[in-house]
Chain A
């Protein structure tokens, strides 16, 4: 089976990418600490470096083991109760049986938009979150298609890489905010160098503010469209019913969401979702997801 082999390759590639990303984050914080020590006072070099090593290690550990929780809390998702969302549970259980993966933990987030995402570090610690809008608008077959799509992301470790990157981007933008806004930082430096220190810190802040969206773009590029197509076709393999996911995508395409709803999600999370919650209409080189029409067409051809 050719697709088994490519699936296996995908898993390996995702694991390597996640590992490289973690190394990158580590180096990134070390460089940051180095720059800060240069600006503040070279005398603080060792203290700041030790601090930044501890900080980066704990940041990496926390985001590796809690990436799913961070993603879930940033969209204010709540655990789905089995009684209230029996349709969701049945669909997820069916897809877990069809894929042979352990049952993921299920969450629901309040939004009228039809959307879903998966997160976690591996299939054993995976979560699937769907919007209340999706549960309301999709029928059984459509919901199974959407969950099958997410299950495919879980199976080939897309979730680990995507969530780690999303958390990284979130962190970069938070740091940028801190640097841009905090003038109190300057009190830590020598008094005679106040002006210099402030300028330095603000420059770092600006640098980060520029870096954040670039990093976000990089993620959208790294999450290739091929992978979304792969997830679609795997979902069809799990459900044995491509029209289910196709008609779910059609419903997603048709719905109109007002701006207020859309702003609920941080843009860093966009690649995680089954359809990009920000740019429904724009597609092109920088789109996080392939054109929805193309996805529907491919599913209908199966």
Chain B
């Protein structure tokens, strides 16, 4: 009788442990997603912070490229004012394509291309672009592991129990990592 009781107690204990394990697993995986999302946000803001500097440098050499300047400024404003991450992300994509055009235009201004400040900003911006790409990749990876955890057996059972569904997170396509080509 006593051995039976002990077996029962140990069995219950093990079951409870498994429940706790899966509960924590979903928490950890969910937090990882939030974390990676905020990582992207940090990089987007960093990039936006560099824009005024860049525009000031460019203005001195390429006065007549008003259209593209406005595009960049607008995209930056959208990032700074965006109240949801989705909006900021969308504005970030616009800023990226606008910046690409700025660097393409810079090709026509040899003096600008030789400006040390400009070169420095260009390197900095392309480093940030890489970082955004890698943060996105990690975000996508995190979603994948979360969704796998909710769909695999026996995780699927616990996922239903705890009400964790394979949610539709932000669909962020991994962009081409190509840095705008600028000849030096």
* Count of chain B residues with a beta carbon within 8 Å of a chain A beta carbon: 18
Assess the A1–B144 pair: CB atoms within 8 A. Answer: yes
B90 at the interface (CB under 8 A from A): no
Tell me which of B32, B35, B134, B174 contacts A94 (CB under 8 A).
B134
Assess the B130–A99 pair: CB atoms within 8 A. Answer: no
Tell me which of B32, B130, B145 contacts A1 (CB under 8 A).
B145
Assess the B137–A100 pair: CB atoms within 8 A. Answer: no
In the complex, chain B residues 162-181 whose Cβ is within 8 Å of any chain A Cβ:
174
Contacts of A86 in B (CB 8 A): 123, 127
Contacts of B36 in A (CB 8 A): 100
Contacts of A100 in B (CB 8 A): 32, 35-36, 138, 141-142
B150 at the interface (CB under 8 A from A): no
In the complex, chain A residues 88-140 whose Cβ is within 8 Å of any chain B Cβ:
90, 93-95, 97-100
B57 at the interface (CB under 8 A from A): no
B100 at the interface (CB under 8 A from A): no
Assess the A98–B32 pair: CB atoms within 8 A. Answer: no
CB distance from A141 to the nearest CB of B (A): 10
Task: Answer whether A90 and B32 are a contact pair too, CB < 8 Å, given A1-B145, A97-B135, A97-B138.
Answer: no
B39 at the interface (CB under 8 A from A): yes
In the complex, chain A residues 225-259 whose Cβ is within 8 Å of any chain B Cβ:
240
State the main secondary structure of chain B at its contact with A.
Answer: helix
Task: Answer whether A90 and B39 are a contact pair too, CB < 8 Å, given A1-B148, A240-B137.
Answer: no
Contacts of B131 in A (CB 8 A): 93-94, 97
Assess the A98–B134 pair: CB atoms within 8 A. Answer: yes
| Contact-residue size bin, chain A (C-beta under 8 Å from the other chain) | 10 to 19
CA distance A42 to B32 in the complex (A): 59
CA distance A240 to B140 in the complex (A): 13
Assess the B134–A97 pair: CB atoms within 8 A. Answer: yes
Assess the B144–A99 pair: CB atoms within 8 A. Answer: no
CB distance from B133 to the nearest CB of A (A): 8
Assess the B145–A4 pair: CB atoms within 8 A. Answer: yes
Contacts of B39 in A (CB 8 A): 97
CB distance from A258 to the nearest CB of B (A): 35
Contacts of B138 in A (CB 8 A): 97-100
In the complex, chain B residues 90-139 whose Cβ is within 8 Å of any chain A Cβ:
123, 127, 130-131, 134-135, 137-138
CB distance from A143 to the nearest CB of B (A): 12
Given contacts A98-B137, A98-B138, 20 further A-B contacts (CB under 8 A): A1-B145, A1-B148, A4-B145, A4-B148, A86-B127, A90-B127, A90-B130, A93-B127, A95-B134, A97-B39, A97-B134, A97-B135, A97-B138, A98-B134, A99-B138, A100-B32, A100-B35, A100-B141, A240-B137, A240-B174
Question: Can you list 9 A-B contacts (CB < 8 A)?
Answer: A1-B144, A4-B148, A86-B127, A94-B130, A95-B134, A97-B134, A98-B138, A100-B36, A100-B141
